[in-house]
Amino acid sequence: MPDPNLKTSMTLRDAIQQSQHVLEDAGVYFGHGTDNALDEAAWLVSHAAGLPPDFSDQLLDQVLTEAQYQAAMALLEKRITSRLPAAYLLEEAWFAGHRFYVDARVLVPRSPIAELIRDQFRPWLEPGQVRYVLDLCTGSGCIAIATALALPEAQVDAVEISRDALNVARINVASYDLASRLALVESDLFSALTGRRYDLIVSNPPYVDAEDMAALPEEYRHEPALGLAAGEDGLALVIPMLQQAPAYLNPQGVLIVEVGNSAAALQARFPQVPFTWLEFSQGGEGVFLLEASQLVQFHDVFMNSR
Ligand SMILES: C[S@@+](CC[C@H](N)C(=O)[O-])C[C@H]1O[C@@H](n2cnc3c(N)ncnc32)[C@H](O)[C@@H]1O
């Protein structure tokens, strides 16, 4: 057996390129933190080499040790044979510039809402005026935690129905030392929040419709179905949110919800509602914003919808 500390002839660059080709040939699906084989290879190999995914290009010529190279190859093989998302293999995901612990109890963070958080929700909100935030369907806690870090004056409630997911979120809240400003709440949507009011309600809920659920690539089948499936039309959670949100928003508050591919179904269901569809410079779509006053104005429309 070779000495694990021995240097190989492989640089970081060589190992990444080799891994990229192997991933491409294996036909794995990307969509859990990366969207191409090169980025995924760089993530796996850099992790095996003990580097963060945003390592400096200057390190590309660094020569890997035997142990690092073998660790990278083992990760690559597991990624291909198991079809587990890399985030589950590495037990980490990067969201809005922050690292989160993840495992198969939670969806892998990837929402374009990260870009809004980095912008402190400007121009939709004035950051200094956001005191109370609700993250509905928090999963790993990524949106709630990144928002609390971006808005240091804000108090954040993070709601989740799955105890398994809450246990993961608890690990992340503790690692960012946010327990004094961020409350994890076990609740079916708003049910445990009676009487509370927020300046911002943000959510990346389950929104995959039945047709898309049936056609999901294998990687997504490792994620909790509770985090993805949302009935025949993908709107099973979004409609109750639209119906109930006005009772939990301050008059100047806003509701921001990701609905992904179900945007068309939502717009078709409510053609008279002027959803603001947010645009993202770093990619992503299917996120709408409605002001509290609009939710009030169209309350009857939402209540009569099903
Ligand atoms: C799409 S995942 C998003 C997780 C996280 N917000 C993110 O962006 O990575 C949706 C989450 O909603 C949770 N969920 C499903 N139904 C719920 C409900 N009725 N009330 C609260 N949370 C719910 C799921 O358990 C899952 O963790």
Q: Are 187 and 159 in contact (CB under 8 A)?
A: yes
DSSP state of 203: E
For 107-145, the pLDDT digits (tens) are: 999 999 999 999 999 999 999 999 999 999 999 999 999
Are 294 and 154 in the same domain?
yes
Question: Is residue 206, in this structure, part of any structural domain at all?
Answer: yes
Are 110 and 226 in the same domain?
yes
For ligand 1, whether the C-beta of 172 sits within 6 Å is no
Are 118 and 204 in the same domain?
yes
Where in the sequence is the domain holding 38, given as residue range(s)?
7-90
For ligand 1, whether the C-beta of 102 sits within 6 Å is no
Are 60 and 185 in the same domain?
no
**Distance between CA 19 and CA 1 in Å, rounded?**
23
Q: For the chain, what is the domain count?
A: 2
Q: Which of 107, 143, 145, 147 should be mutated for ligand 1, with most atoms under 8 A from CB?
A: 107
Distance 117 CA to ligand 1 centre (A): 18
Are 83 and 125 in the same domain?
no
Q: What is the number of alpha carbons within 13 Å of residue 224 lying toward its C-beta?
A: 21
Question: Is residue 96, in this structure, part of any structural domain at all?
Answer: no
For 156-196, the pLDDT digits (tens) are: 999 999 999 999 999 999 999 999 999 999 999 999 999 99
Is the pLDDT assigned to residue 90 strictly greater than 70? yes
Q: Which SS3 state, helix, strand or coil, does residue 256 take?
A: strand
- The ligand 1 atom at the shortest distance from the C-alpha of residue 237 is 19
**Distance between CA 154 and CA 33 in Å, rounded?**
27
Q: Report the 10 Å Cβ neighbour count for 47.
A: 20
For ligand 1, whether the C-beta of 260 sits within 6 Å is no
Is the pLDDT assigned to residue 305 strictly greater than 90? no
For 15-24, the pLDDT digits (tens) are: 999 999 999 9
The dihedral over CA atoms of 30, 31, 32, 37, expressed in degrees to the nearest 10, equals 30
Residue nearest to atom 12 of ligand 1 (CA): 137
Residue 239 contacts by C-beta under 8 Å, 6 or more apart in sequence? Answer: 269, 302, 305, 306
Question: Is residue 98, in this structure, part of any structural domain at all?
Answer: no
Whole-prediction pTM: 0.96
Are 137 and 255 in the same domain?
yes
Q: Residue 182 is inside which H or E element, if any? A: strand 182-186
Residue nearest to atom 14 of ligand 1 (CA): 137
Q: Are 90 and 84 in contact (CB under 8 A)?
A: no
Question: Is residue 24, in this structure, part of any structural domain at all?
Answer: yes
CA angle 11, 13, 19 (to 5 degrees): 105
Are 132 and 277 in the same domain?
yes
